[in-house]
Structure 1
Amino acid sequence: MEGQGELGRIGENYETSNVGGIRRSRDEENESRSGGSDNMEGGSGDDQDASDKPPRKKKRYHRHTPQQIQELEALFKECPHPDEKQRLELSKRLCLETRQVKFWFQNRRTQMKTQLERHENSILRQENDKLRAENMSIKDAMRNPICTNCGGPAMIGEISLEEQHLRIENARLKDELDRVCALAGKFLGRPISALAASMGPPMPNSSLELGVGSNGFGGLNIINPSTLPLGPPDFGGPLPVMPSTKSTMNNMTPIERSLERSMYLELALAAMDELVKMAQTDEPIWLRSLEGGREVLNHEEYLRTFTPCIGMKPNGFVTEASRESGMVIINGLALVETLMDSNKWAEMFPCIIARTTTTDVISDGMGGTRNGALQLMHAELQVLSPLVPVREVNFLRFCKQHAEGVWAVVDVSIDAIRETSSGGPTYPSCRRLPSGCVVQDMPNGYSKVTWVEHAEYDESLVHQLYRPLIGAGMGFGAQRWVATLQRQSECLAILMSSNTPARDHTAITAGGRRSMLKLAQRMTNNFCAGVCASTVHKWNKLRTENVDEDVRVMTRKSVDDPGEPPGIVLSAATSVWLPVSPQRLFDFLRNEHLRSEWDILSNGGPMQEMAHIAKGQDHGNCVSLLRASAMHSNQSSMLILQETCIDAAGSLVVYAPVDIPAMHVVMNGGDSAYVALLPSGFAIVPDGPMGDGPSSNGGPPAHRVGGSLLTVAFQILVNSLPTAKLTVESVETVNNLISCTVQKIKAALQCES
C-alpha cells in the first residue's frame, strides 16, 4: 500500500483533457519534479541558447490547496461516483472548474484500483513463494524418507496415520473455502479468489488496513485476516465485518464461527430471493379472496415454487401469510436506515414491537451504504391483548439494493441453523419465514412499499377469540405493518412541517408540542408493555380466585424510574367481543363529551379539551389534554393526557392522569421524563377478516357483521411504600374496575346481551 503523501500528489497533478484514460506526458513529469509551480511559461537561459527555436509554451497546471483536497477526499469517502449536480456544487464551493473536479475523481478511482491490484498481485506472489518452498521441502523429504516410528529408512509411499488425517482435514477445509467464496461472489456480485480469501498478511502482526485515509474507504473497518481464516468476513473485498457481540461466539473456534456465518449468508441470500419473488408475483402464488378481496397465499403453488429455507414446518404449527402495498411519506434510504437500526425500528412501530435488539452485526454494508448489510436480531412482537402471547423471534435481517431507488429488506428465522449447531431441535412458538418489504422511491419524497409477512406458529397458544384474526394475517400481518408505517410517517411529516394544523391549539410552543408528544409516546409504550407482559418490565403474574377467568393481573415494583410513582404497580387487562363496528367503538371511547358514560375520572360529567396536537389527517390521530368540567370537578389539580390512534388495522385510546404543574412545565418545552404517569386505555381490532365472532354456545365461530375485539387495561398504584405488599382487596378493586367499565360500555352501546 502506498503512503498518503504519494496519493495526494497523484490526485493533485493528474489532470488531463483525455477522458478515456490518464496518461502522464513528459512535460507533466518535469512539472511534478519541479514542485508544481503555477508559472510554467518561461524557460532557462541555457535552454534558449541551445536552440534558435522559441521555447514551447507549456500547459499551466493547478496545484490544489490542502483545504480543497480535504473536501474532495471527504466526498470521495461518501460517494466515489458523484453525479453532475454534486460535482457542480463542489466546484462552486471549492472555486474549481467542474472538469477539474471530474478529473480529480477519475484519477482517484484509478489510483484506488491500481492499489488494490497491486495488493492482489502481492498476495499471489506470496502464495507462489509458499508453494515453491513447499514443493522443495516435499522433494527433499522424498529423497530421504524416514519412518516416524523407528527413525530408520521408510518405504516409498509410507504415510503416517496422523498425516492422513491432516490431509483429509485439509481437503475438507479447501472444499468449505471454495463454497464460501462462491457464496461471497454471489453476495458481492463479483467472483472472489479462494487464494485471496485464504491468504493471511505477510507478517504475523500486520493487518490489511482498509481504513480511513489510506484509500478512501472511510466506512470500512480494519480486518485482520489471520483471525478469520475461512468465512465471509475475510473476502479481501469491500465487505466490512463488525465484531461479534454474541456471548456464544466466544466459545466457538474461528472455523466454527466462519462456518456459521457462511450458513447465515447462504440463508440470507435464499430468503432475499424468495421475498422479491413473493412481492412481485401475483397469481398463481397469491390469489384474490372472493370474500373481502384479501390476497391469500396459494400454499400448494408456494411449495412447488420454493424450497423451505428454514426446514419443514413443525408438527402442530399453522401458517399465516399476507401481502400489502401502499404509498408512504418517506424516501427509500430513510426507511431502509430505520429498518436496519433496532431503536429506530421500534420507534416506528411502537404498538407492534415490544422490544428489539441487534445481537450481532455480520456486515454493515458496502461503500458507506446499507447495501449488503447483514445482522442478527431479536424481537418481541405483540398484538395488544392478554389472550395472544408475545412472539419472540431470532432472525437474520438482510438489506440489498436491487436497482437505483429500489431496496429490499428481508427477515428470516435462524432456528434451523441454531438447531444444527446445538445438536437438537428446540422449536420456538413462532418461526418467521422470509418476510419483509421491497421499497421503491417515488416522486415528491414518497415511496411505494410492498410488504410480505409469512410465519408459522403454534395456534394452540392463541385464544379462540383471536384465532380468525391471527390466522388471516391481520394481527401480525403485512396490513398492520404498512398501516402503522403510513400513520407514523404521516405524523413525522406533520411534525417536521412549519405549518401548524388549524385545529391545533396555537398556545402551545413548538418545544411544548415536542415534549407533549414525547410524554404521550412513553405513556403508550408503557400501556402496551402492561397489556402484553413483554420483558420491557418485570411483571409477576398473579393467580387468584377473586379474578375473572379472562382477566390477567400482574404486579411489579417501581422504585428507580422518575417517570413512574414509586411503589407497587398493579396491571389488569382483558379482551371481550362486542357486536359493534371498530369505527363506532373508537368514536365512542375517544369522545370527551361521552366520557362520563364509562370513566370514573370524569366525575359524572363531560370533559373539556384543553390542548390538541394533530398527528395525522384523520382527526382520530392526536394527543389531547382533558379536564373535567368545572361544575363537576372536585380534583382541580388533575388533568388527563390522552393519545388516540387509528389506521386500517385497528385503533387505540390511551390515557393517564397527570399533575397540572408538571404539565405546565411540559407545555412550555420542559423535560417530560420526570412526569409520573400510569396509563390505562383500550385497543380495538376487527374480530376477523369477515367479522367472524364467537358462537353463543362456545362452539365454532359464527358469522357476525362488523364485530370488534376490545382490550381493556388499567395500571394503578396500590401502595406507594417501597416495602408494601399486595393485598387481596387491591386485586379485587382493579378486577371490579375492569368489569364495571366493560359493562358500562356495553350498556352505552346497547349491546349488553
Structure 2
Amino acid sequence: MDFGEEPEGSDGQRKKKRYHRHTPRQIQQLEAMFKECPHPDEKQRMHLSRELGLEPRQIKFWFQNRRTQMKAQHERADNCALRAENDKIRCENIAIREALRNVVCPTCGGPPVADDAYFDEQKLRMENARLKEELDRVSSLTSKYLGRPITQLPPVQPVPISSLDLSVGGFAAPSLGPSLDLDLLTGASASMSLPFPTAVSEMEKPLMAEMAAGAMEELIRLVQTDEPLWIKHGSDGREVLGIETYDRIFPKPGNQFRGPDIRVEASRDSGLVFMNSVALVDMFMDSSKWFEFFPTIISKTRTVEVLATGMAGRSGSLLLMYEELHVLSPVVPTREFCFLRYCQQIEQGLWAIADVSVDLSRESNQFNAPSRSRRLPSGCLIQEMPNGYSKVTWIEHMEIEEKAPIHLLFRDLVGSGAAFGAHRWLTTLQRTCERFACLMAAGASPRDIGGVIPSPEGKRSMMKLSQRMVNNFCASLSASHMHRWTTLSGLNDVGVRVTVHRSSDPGQPNGVVLSAATSLWLPVSCERVFSFFRDETMRTQWDVLSSGNSVQEVARITSGSHPGNCISLLRGLNSSQNSMLILQESCTDASGSLVIYAPIDIPAVNVVMSGEDPSNVALLPSGFTILPDGRPGGGGGASTSSNPMGASLGSLITVAFQILVSSLPSSKLNVESVATVNNLISTTVQQIKAALNCPNG
C-alpha cells in the first residue's frame, strides 16, 4: 500500500494535501516490477505511468518507499538473528569457562596450564565485545530506517578528579609523605554502580536456576552433617569445614587442584535470634534491609535482578545479588561477590536461604584480571521457635584469592577465617535483632534514662538517627577500590590514612569532608578497651576535642541485652559550646565492638525528640572499632555474657575521624587541614595508650 500526494489551494490559503490510494491492480503491477527491477530508470517509470494511469512522480515515490521498507525489514531480521546468535554464544561461553575451570589433563591428571585458560577466556571476551559492537551497529541502522532516534551506549566517563589541591602557594608538604590522592567519592556507597554488566539473557536464567537448586541441596546437607565434615576448632566450640572430607562427599572437578594462591574459608555456627522466621526471610530477600542489618560487614549491596518472585516474594524466590564485604579498617581489602540467593520453605516454620557465586564478568574490562574469589554454596537454615525466636544455622564457605596483600596487623584475624566467618555474621545478626526489638518495643527499659526523650515516637526517631550515624561511620572506613586512601607518614607502621569527598547528602554537612583513620594493636582485651571508651568519666583521657571538659549522660536508650549496647546523649560540663550535645552509640557482640559519636545541636535534638523524621539532621560521625586480634591462643576463651569476645590477649583498634574542612564545595584542601587531622589522630592514639598503660612505639 502506498499513497500519492498533490498540493492544492489558492494564494493566502494553507496548502492541503490530497491523498490517493493505489488500486489493487496498480499495487500488483508495481510489486511485479519491483521484483524485476527495484531501481527503474526514467524510461521505465514513464512506461508504468502510462500503463497504470499514475504520474511519474508517484511512481518514483512508490519505489523509494518500497526500497526503504525492504531495507528496514532486512535489518530487523538480521538484528533478531544476531541477538539470538549472541545469546547462544554467551551460554556457550559460560559452559566453556566452567569446562576450562574444571578440565583435567588426560596425560598427567592435573589441572591445565593457567595461561591457556586465561588466554582462552580473553578470546571469548574479545568475541563477545565484537558481537556487541555488531549488534549496536545493526540496532542503530534499524532505528534510523524505522524513523526512531538513534540510541547509543553512553560513553565511559573518566573518574572525576577533585578540584581540591594539596598545596599552598604551589609547594607540597614533604613532611606528610606522598601527595594526597584527592579523587572524590561519588556519594553513598550503597548506591554506587556495579563493576560488571547486569543484563541476564533468557537463555542464562535456566542455568542459574539449576545452579541455585544445586546450591540449596548442598546447603541442606552441610547443615545436617556433623563430624568429620565439620571439626570443632578451639575451646569456644566453633566449627570449621574439613576440606578433605568435603571434597570426598561433594566431589567436583578441579577441587583437588586448587592453586596455591587460593584459600578456603568455611565455618558453621548456630544460635537463637530474637526475630520470627518470616521477618528474617524478608530481611534476607530485601537488599536494603540486608544492608541495614549488617553495616559492620556489608559496605554496599544491591539486587541486580529478580529471576523468580516465588510465593509472596519468599519460597521459590531467586535473586541475582551483589555485595561488597569489609572489615572496619582501611588496611583490609574488601571482598566482592555477585551471587544467586535462593529461598525455599522446607516445611511449616522451616526456611532455607542458599547463596552461590555466579560469574557476570564476561564483558567487563574494568579490571586487568578478574578475582577468582567466589562464594561456594552457603547460607542459612531458619527454624521458627516459641516466643518470637528463631534458630539460625549459618554456613559461610568461600574460596578466596587475595588480590591485595593484607596488612600484618590483621593477617591473623583474616587468615583464621574469623573476619568474614559464620560466627561474625550470626553474632551481628543476634545483636541487630535485639536492637530492632528495642526499637519496636512500646515501653522503656529499666536501664533507660528519660532525660529529654518525652515519647515513644521520639525514642524511635532517635534510634533511626543513630542507625544512620552508624551506617555512615562504617561506610567511611571502606577500603574498596572506589574509596581510595592515602597514607601519611608517622605514628606507626599503619600510618594515618586519609581520604576526602564532597558531601551533598542532606544527612551530612555540605562541603568538603576529610576522613582520617589509623589502626593499631594493643595488648589489652577487647572487653577492657570497650569499657574504657564507654566510661564517660574517662572521656577526657582520649577525647582531644573535649578540651579537658567532662561529660554527663542526659539520656540513654537501651538497644540490647548487654549493658554496653545503648544510645546516649551526652552534655559537656563547663563547656563553651552549651548549644551542642553528643549523640553516641556503643554496641558489642562476640565478634567486636563499636563506639561511634557525633556532635548534634540542641535545635536538631528537639526536632528528633518530637518524633519527626530525622533524615535531614546533619551528622558527621567519628569513633572507634574494636576487634579481637585473632592471634593463635589469643581468642581461645569461651565467650560469656560478661565477656562476649572471649579471653582475647590483644585487640585491634581503629580510630577514625571525619572533619568538615570547608562548607564551600569549591574550597581547596590545604596542608594545614591535613596536618591538623594527622595531629588529632596521633594525639588520640598516644592518650589511649597512656590511659591503658600500653607502651608507645
Q: TM-score range, shorter-chain basis?
A: 0.5 to 0.7
Q: CA deviation at 1:375?
A: 1.1
1:322 counterpart = 2:247: no
Q: Which amino acid aligns with 1:651?
A: S
Equivalent-residue separation in structure 2 for 1:718 and 1:429 (angstroms): 40
Q: Which amino acid aligns with 2:460?
A: R
Aligned to 1:740: 683
1:671 counterpart = 2:613: yes
Q: CA deviation at 1:541?
A: 3.3
Aligned to 2:375: 432
SS in 2 for 1:461: coil
Q: CA deviation at 1:592?
A: 0.7
The answer on whether the counterparts of 1:553 and 1:570 sit within 8 Å (CA) in structure 2 is: no
Gaps of 5+ in 1: 1-165, 177-244, 694-703
Aligned to 1:711: 654
Aligned to 2:588: 646
Aligned to 1:231: none
Q: 1:605 to 1:248 in 2, by over 3 A?
A: closer
Equivalent-residue separation in structure 1 for 2:299 and 2:234 (angstroms): 34
Q: CA deviation at 1:661?
A: 1.7
Equivalent-residue separation in structure 2 for 1:432 and 1:528 (angstroms): 23
Higher relative contact order (CA 8 A, sep 6+): 2
Residue in structure 2 matching 1:463, options 398, 407, 411? 407
The answer on whether the counterparts of 2:381 and 2:392 sit within 8 Å (CA) in structure 1 is: yes
The answer on whether the counterparts of 1:319 and 1:471 sit within 8 Å (CA) in structure 2 is: no
Q: Which amino acid aligns with 1:301?
A: T
Q: CA deviation at 1:351?
A: 1.3
Q: 1:309 to 1:614 in 2, by over 3 A?
A: farther
Aligned to 2:344: 400
The answer on whether the counterparts of 2:488 and 2:495 sit within 8 Å (CA) in structure 1 is: no
Aligned to 1:517: 463
Identity of aligned residues (%): 52
1:682 counterpart = 2:617: no
The answer on whether the counterparts of 2:498 and 2:515 sit within 8 Å (CA) in structure 1 is: yes
Aligned to 2:243: 299
Q: CA deviation at 1:557?
A: 3.8
Equivalent-residue separation in structure 1 for 2:471 and 2:230 (angstroms): 35
Equivalent-residue separation in structure 2 for 1:260 and 1:301 (angstroms): 32
Equivalent-residue separation in structure 1 for 2:601 and 2:506 (angstroms): 14
Equivalent-residue separation in structure 2 for 1:480 and 1:719 (angstroms): 38
Q: CA deviation at 1:471?
A: 2.4
CA deviation string 1:348-405 (max 9, x = no partner): 112111111101111011x435111111001111111112111111111111111221
The answer on whether the counterparts of 2:268 and 2:394 sit within 8 Å (CA) in structure 1 is: yes
1:333 counterpart = 2:275: no
TM-score normalised over the length of structure 2: 0.66
Equivalent-residue separation in structure 2 for 1:724 and 1:547 (angstroms): 28
Equivalent-residue separation in structure 1 for 2:430 and 2:252 (angstroms): 31
Aligned to 1:529: 475
Equivalent-residue separation in structure 2 for 1:545 and 1:468 (angstroms): 24
Aligned to 1:452: 395
Q: 1:310 to 1:573 in 2, by over 3 A?
A: farther
Q: Which amino acid aligns with 2:626?
A: I
Q: Which amino acid aligns with 1:657?
A: P
Equivalent-residue separation in structure 1 for 2:313 and 2:472 (angstroms): 34
Q: CA deviation at 1:425?
A: 11
SS in 2 for 1:502: coil
TM-score normalised over the length of structure 1: 0.61
The answer on whether the counterparts of 1:271 and 1:309 sit within 8 Å (CA) in structure 2 is: no
Q: CA deviation at 1:449?
A: 0.3
Aligned to 1:179: none
Aligned to 1:72: none
Gaps of 5+ in 2: 1-80, 92-193, 636-646
Equivalent-residue separation in structure 1 for 2:364 and 2:672 (angstroms): 51
Equivalent-residue separation in structure 1 for 2:661 and 2:361 (angstroms): 44
Q: Which amino acid aligns with 1:684?
A: I
Q: Which amino acid aligns with 1:731?
A: V
Residue in structure 2 matching 1:497, options 441, 459, 479? 441
Q: CA deviation at 1:438?
A: 0.4
1:576 counterpart = 2:520: yes
The answer on whether the counterparts of 1:320 and 1:470 sit within 8 Å (CA) in structure 2 is: no
Q: How does 1:149-548 map to 2 (within 5 A)?
A: 248=197, 257-308=201-252, 313=258, 315-365=260-310, 367-368=311-312, 370-415=314-359, 426-428=369-371, 430-459=373-402, 461-507=405-451, 508=453, 509-534=455-480, 539-542=483-486
Q: Which amino acid aligns with 2:206?
A: S
CA deviation string 1:569-627 (max 9, x = no partner): 11111111100000010000111110000102332132100110110121111110101
Equivalent-residue separation in structure 2 for 1:729 and 1:664 (angstroms): 35
Equivalent-residue separation in structure 2 for 1:529 and 1:540 (angstroms): 13
Q: CA deviation at 1:469?
A: 1.3
The answer on whether the counterparts of 1:622 and 1:644 sit within 8 Å (CA) in structure 2 is: yes
SS in 1 for 2:203: helix
Q: 1:714 to 1:550 in 2, by over 3 A?
A: same
Q: Which amino acid aligns with 1:566?
A: N
The answer on whether the counterparts of 1:682 and 1:712 sit within 8 Å (CA) in structure 2 is: yes
Q: Which amino acid aligns with 1:394?
A: C
Aligned to 1:720: 663
CA deviation string 1:402-422 (max 9, x = no partner): 12211110111112x756999
Cα RMSD of the aligned pairs, angstroms, is 3.0
The answer on whether the counterparts of 1:479 and 1:649 sit within 8 Å (CA) in structure 2 is: yes
Q: CA deviation at 1:670?
A: 2.5
Equivalent-residue separation in structure 2 for 1:511 and 1:314 (angstroms): 56
